[in-house]
Structure 1
Amino acid sequence: MTSPDPSRPEALRRIAAIDAEAYARTRNALDGAVTGLSPWITHGIVTPAEVLAGAIAAHAAAGRRTPIGLQHRLVMELGWREYFRHVWHHRGDAILRSLHEGVLPGAAYADAVPDDVRQARTGVPVIDRAVRELHASGHLHNHARLWLASYLVHLRKVHWRAGADWLWPRLLDGDLASNHLSWQWVAATGSRKPYLFNAENIARHAPPEWHSPGSVLDTDYDSLERIARSPTPVRTRPRPDAEGLPEPALQAEPSDGIPTRIGAELHEQVRGREVWLAHPWALGDPPADLPAGTVVVGLLVAETHRARPWSAARWNFVMPRLRQLAPHCALAPLAQWRALLRDARRVHARDDPHLRPALEALATDLRPAPRLFPHIARPCDSFSQWWTRVGRELSPADPVFSLVCPVPGDPDADPVAYPVLPPPRRAGDRRARWHRP
């Protein structure tokens, strides 16, 4: 398997190619004009603000006069990513458990993904195609992820957590919050109703080779609802004559010979120096305001990757970029990293919840993860609630503000597409707010 180029130039090339109008119109189709940028965003190679700024620039360069406002689908999809991080921030590891009971009690579901699914031999074309694409590329369109999750949870009676844990490390863009909370949304443990789909839905959004007429999915939604609410898994007819697809193994370390202990040479490099920690979720260029002579070190914490190993494809995406940034990399226990960095003058790093406990233990200057939207202090139980508060609390301090809010007096501005300025602040108001239309 060949992983895509993880460099910033490749990400910027993809950003420049975004067609926001086509994205909004076709994003639900498997062959739609999606950006394909999620691996670069997940691993911090580019930020959501850079993606949106580039999309707006490409939109303008194409002569499109309809502005990309706060309600544009591209902006909202970037919002979903940040909303899931919002939930993770407030709930912590509780996102790894059912947020509430779903369609059936948790004990009604199996705790492992069946072999015929893992090996892409269920006999249901949409499922087998999805698994083959996952194993071949580490990529899966969002719609295909929803279909795969719904099939496993509601038809095969696999617990959402088992499915989420199986899928996450095999995705190049696997983000714990986005992945696990999306599975909960499908399972109705993080939403009000189960997500269901049928053969007609597949035919509307997928190429012909994905279509599944005559399968268990070729039925109406009332029947699927009854299946979802029954504890009995659907009968399956795995193809015994079909050659099963070998499932790629997961790895707790890359296969390119990275040091697994911190040696004397690295101690010499960091002693008394400013250090920037590049890590798998912060693979962007080091900040421009770092002191001159800052040493960049590639941080891989052994305990983190033993607990959640990755596919070879994901390692092959991350490691070239990490080595490009940091001439000195190691995959070592946290205790060794502590001992090393005690000798540094200061340790700078970019925060990320996937690695937060280690980063908090190591960095003296832990910089916040980049965000596009305002920080919403109050926990929100749904995207719509969070999105409403985003519109109300949007301010010039938020990156999205300068990108989607019109310049006062701009004759080309579409007032429907943008948030509008609230009335002047009055005495007694706690703060001025922006309101979305």
Structure 2
Amino acid sequence: MEINKAYDQDSVSLPSHSLIETTSTVDNSVIDNMSSDEHQQKIHSLSYVSLLKSYSSLPSQHPIRFIGLSAQVFFYYLGYGYLQELLFTLDGFKHTSWFLSCYQFFIYSVLSFIQIGFIGLNQRRASYRSYLILALLTVATMGLSNHSIGYLNYPTQVMFKCCKLIPVLIGGIIIQKKTFNRYDVAAAFCMSIGLVFFTLADSKVRPNFNSYGVIVICSALIADAIIGNYQEKIMKMHHVSNVEIVFYSFMFGFLIILIGLLLTNNFFSSMVFWNKHPISTYGYSLLFSIFGYLGIDIVLTLIKEYGALICVAVTTCRKAITIILSFILFSKPFVFDYVWSGLIVVIGIYLNVYSRNQTAFNTKIVSYINSLSNFRWWPKFSTSTTSRILPV
């Protein structure tokens, strides 16, 4: 019993001393591990921040800068198009298309408000009346575009949106008294022909083709033509920044759509439908809106740094991939008429780009021909400038 007592005392007393040492050792090791982990996290975060700073500080001539911006355009807008078409695959969603526009305008307003806070803009330049008119046009453009998805094949809707030059040309003549050259007229003609045959191909393979969707998307394009000319007029008169135009046009547009939904008793019925499928509606629509807003910002950056010629080349490739992925990811009937009619539209797009940037376009063509002539396999021609007199 005494041995047991002694053992018990030892077993109680000795650990009491060793426990302190062990605990302190464990605590120190834990602290060291935590400090090392925090140190590594700080190193990773600092390296990530330095990587972003180094990328943002790259000159526009650097190929990584161009590749990064182009990759962002593809990522954001391919995600935007995929989510937009995915939303309308939900049965009954097309009846809530205006609620989607209301939700999208709200997200755009919040994101632009945050961006204004970062930039530090605190003074409005244009009048509320100008922004109210701009908001009405924005509602007609984006709201009708979203509404048309429920009645049109998605590739057809994309092709129509590619051809907004046609109403822009007409709107420029009427609103700003602009004159256009023969390349613009030829571009509008090619786009019109391509659209007609693309729509005929769509009606051929879709037995439930609805001409109402064509009327809706044409109305959206007309509003888009007016809004482009009106935005240009406001920016020239008041020197307004892009983010200010985005904020006020989408904030007022959100209020306009909200009032319209309440007056037509579609607000609460749409909300009931969305509440039944919260992930497929609120979740996908949130990502859809974020992708759309970030895509706008990247496109404006691409135009600012590389010009409209390069930007149109990138966005045209993106639209072509969007159409291809739409046929692959969402089962649709396909005919070869889609290909050649789409190529006619693409020719019209590049004719329009050429008419605006003839000098830059000609310079690039000449440099490309000169680079080809430097290859060894390319036949060498005599470029002598000495005049030759033919015998009489």
TM-score (normalizing by structure 1): 0.23
**Looking at both structures, which has the greater relative contact order when contacts are Cα pairs under 8 Å and sequence separation is at least 6?**
2
Q: Which has the higher helix share?
A: 2
The structure that is strand-richer by fraction is 1
Q: Which has the larger radius of gyration?
A: 2
